[in-house]
Amino acid sequence: MTARQALGKGLGALIPEKGPPEAEGRKALRTCGIEEIHPNPFQPRKTFLDEPLQELVDSIREKGILQPLLVRRKGDGYELIAGERRWRAAQKAGVKEVPILVRDVSDSEMLEDSLIENIQRENLNPIEEAEAYKRLMEQFHLTQEEVSQKVGKDRTTVANTVRLLKLPPEIKLSLAEGKITMGHARAFLSLDGPDKQKLLLKRLLTGGLSVRQTESLVRRLRTRGSPAPRKTDAEWSVLIDELQRSLGTKIRIVGKRKRGKIEIDFYSSEELDRIVEFLRR
What is the per-residue pLDDT across 28-60, written as a single tens digit (0 to 9) for each?
A: 688 999 999 998 877 666 555 555 678 888 999
Rounded distance, CA 47 to CA 140, Å?
24
In the chain, the DSSP E strands lie at 29-33, 37-38, 69-74, 77-82, 97-102, 251-255, 260-264
Which domains are assigned to the chain?
A: 3-106 (3.90.1530.30), 239-280 (no CATH)
Lowest mean per-residue pLDDT among 21-25, 86-90, 177-181, 248-252: 21-25
Confidence band, pLDDT 50/70/90 cuts, at residue 104: confident
> Is-catalytic flag, 51?
no
Radius of gyration of the chain (CA): 26
The percentage of residues in the chain with a pLDDT greater than 90, rounded to a whole number, is 15
The active-site residue out of 17, 36, 84, 235 is: 84
**When comparing pLDDT for 240 and 16, which is higher?**
240
DSSP string, 192-247: -SHHHHHHHHHHHHHHT--HHHHHHHHHHHHT--SHHHHHHHHHHHHHHHHHHHHH
Residue 200 CB coordination number (10 Å):
23
Residue 111 has pLDDT above 80, yes or no: no
> Could you tell me the pTM of the whole model?
0.55
Residue-level length of the chain = 281
Better-predicted residue by pLDDT, 94 or 246: 94
Look at residue 17 in the predicted model and tell me its pLDDT: 38
The pLDDT assigned to 98 comes to 93
Give, for 112, the enclosing helix (H) or strand (E).
helix 107-121
**Please, are residues 98 and 37 in contact by the beta-carbon 8 Å criterion?**
yes
